[in-house]
Amino acid sequence: MKRLEEYPDAHLRLFERPPAPPPEAVREVYLIGICGSGMGTLAVLLHEAGYKVRGSDAAAYPPMSTYLRQRGISFYEDYDPAHLEPPPDLVVVGNACTPTHPEAAAARERRLPQLSLPEALAHFFLRHRRPVVVAGTHGKTTTSGLLAHVLHCAGWDPGFFIGGVMIGAETSGRIGSGPWFVIEGDEYDSAYFDKRPKFLHYRPQSVLLTAIEFDHADLYDDLEDYREAFEQLVALLPTQGLLIAHGDDPLVRQLARQCPAQVRTYGLHTPCDITVGSLHPTFEGQHFELIADGQKIGRFFLPLSGRHNLRNALAVCAFALQQGLSPEQLHEGLATFPGMKRRLEVRGEAGGILVVDDFAHHPTAVRETLRAARQRWPNRRLIAVFEPRSNSSRRRRFESDYIEAFDDADAVWLSMPPFRHNDHPEDFFDPEHVAAGIRARGIPAEVANGADALLPRLLESLQAGDVALLMSNGAFGNLPARLLHALQSRTQTTPASFPNAPFSA
């Protein structure tokens, strides 16, 4: 992982920050980058805890801008050192800020107390709680949301801080009053002045570790460098703590053997403490028999498709059973989980075409998402539309993996976001090469850059009965909503007319 000394601005002595005042001495908090998903959620938690909150963001747009204003949180829609007057008691610096960011630089020069987002979350909300950190390359958001939901259904009123929004809910965070605080443990860096992974700040009492597979190639040098971050997380567990480990993952098993705390394993293949007996997937989800320590616990229903989601549920079951939840409480929590937004989220159907939105941004996530979609809609043509939005997701080292990741699709559209001024194109995969590789595997594949170019071509090619699965870890030019709206408009004018598709499924 990039160390501080590798940065040209290391001479700024970035670690010499004034200490943050104790929570009881803070009246006003200022957040730089307040409209980011994590920063916005933190702003709402601070506001609900009684602090005065303000901030700034040059990318202030819905839904987060609307969400903040509805809760009475004000913010500037640009960056200016003058915004820091009068000086707040504490500045929270988002990890998108660089050392030369005008407000971040002003806060540093004026010696204002500063914290990163994960430091602030720990400082204000984790001191007297039992943090449960859900970490791993894949499945963090769904597992965190499902765990928070199961504990809530059992009457424990957990706090939570999740990198996604539960369907039907209005927030991705809540203070809660129960002992547990569920946190999605991100392995990305904390701030420009702290290159440590976010999850190292969360004081874990329990860790749910879902998978370790190389990711964030813009930050970590290689798989070993990446694995070391999780090794540091596991080492933070106290001896009386708990590690819920994915037993089918060899790197997770390796870390589990080094863990100082109690370990419980879950999985579908290797011998594990928590596993599945009979399994019956349906259109609505999955019915499965839960087995703990070789004993049948009962039959359960999970309203999510895909083996990856079944593994996520097993991680939650392992934790819940270890904390004394009854099979009945577990059954209710699993069966009533509404799912997370942008995780195989059905946005709507028009003209017989289903529009589905997903956050997949890694070859494994793309593959598992397509498998889950195939399981859920086995008799429909599955059209995959993929935008690798982040620098990490479009790295050249993933090129061959992407070529194989789309095997469950009937046709594929690829869209590469435009390069930014500091990008190095040679680091990123060639979408035309990936499309050619997918075609060589017998699946039609085309490239169309951006939502504006994709929308008319999708409208020309989609047919009644299709599932349009749109995958991106960015906004994707609001393509899911725009596509659905266009399909609805077309259906109202020509309800029985659907152009022939240029792809042969």
Closest among 122, 159, 130, 128 to 241, alpha carbons compared: 130
Helix (H, G, I), strand (E, B) or coil at 372: helix
Q: What is the pLDDT of residue 494?
A: 55
Q: Supply the DSSP string of 53-90, one letter for each residue.
A: EEEE-TT--TTHHHHHHHTT-EEESS--GGGG-SPPSE
Q: Nearest 5 degrees, angle CA 224-CA 226-CA 231?
A: 85
| The pLDDT of residue 339 | 77
Q: Is the pLDDT of residue 264 over 60?
A: yes
What distances in angstroms separate CA 218 from CA 120, 188, 419, 424, one per listed residue? 25, 10, 15, 11
Question: Among candidates 322, 333, 342, which has minimal Cα distance to 149?
Answer: 333
Given a contact cutoff of 8 angstroms between Cβ atoms, the answer to whether 116 and 201 are in contact is: yes
**212-241 pLDDT, tens per residue?**
987 776 778 788 888 899 999 999 999 999
Pairing mode, strands 411-414 and 159-161: unpaired
The owner of tokens 């403490």 is: 273
Position 62 scores a pLDDT of 63
Burial class (CB in 10 A: 0-12, 13-18, 19+), 371: middle
- Average per-residue pLDDT in the chain? 87
Q: State yes or no: cis peptide before 86, omega within 30 of 0.
A: yes
What would the pLDDT profile of 33-62 be if each residue is shown by its tens digit? Answer: 998 888 989 999 999 999 999 999 987 766
- Please name the residues in contact with 445: beta carbons below 8 A apart, sequence gap of 6 or more: 406, 411, 412, 413, 414, 434, 435, 436, 438, 439
Most confident range (mean pLDDT) of 53-57, 161-165, 276-280, 428-432 is: 53-57
Q: What is the model's pLDDT at position 3?
A: 45
Cα separation of 235 and 171, whole Å? 31
pLDDT at position 226 is 86
Do residues 20 and 113 touch, judged by C-beta distance below 8 A? yes
Give yes or no for a contact between 184 and 141, defined as CB atoms under 8 angstroms apart: yes
Element (H, E) at 187: none
pLDDT at residue 47, as a whole number: 95
Domains of the chain: 23-118 (3.40.50.720), 126-335 (3.40.1190.10), 345-492 (3.90.190.20)
- What's the mean pLDDT in 143-167? 91
In this prediction, residues 386-409 reach a mean pLDDT of: 82
Reply yes or no on whether the pLDDT at 168 is more than 90: no
Lowest mean pLDDT among 3-17, 196-210, 278-292: 3-17
Percentage of residues in the chain having pLDDT higher than 70: 91
Strands lying side by side in the sheet with 28-32: 74-76, 52-56, 28-32, 90-93, 114-116
Give me the pLDDT at residue 12, please: 44
Strand partners, 471: 358, 386
What is the number of helices (H) and of strands (E) in the chain?
14, 23
pLDDT for position 181:
97
Among candidates 103, 112, 92, 9, which has minimal Cα distance to 51?
A: 92
Res 502 pLDDT > 70: no
Nearest by Cα to 119 from 232, 23, 260, 261: 23
Gap between the Cα atoms of 200 and 493, Å rounded: 55
Dist. CA 358–CA 178, nearest whole Å: 31
Q: In angstroms, what CA-CA distances link 306 with 271, 277, 282, 374, 447?
A: 20, 16, 10, 9, 27
Residues 362, 270, 240, CA angle at the centre, nearest 5°?
85
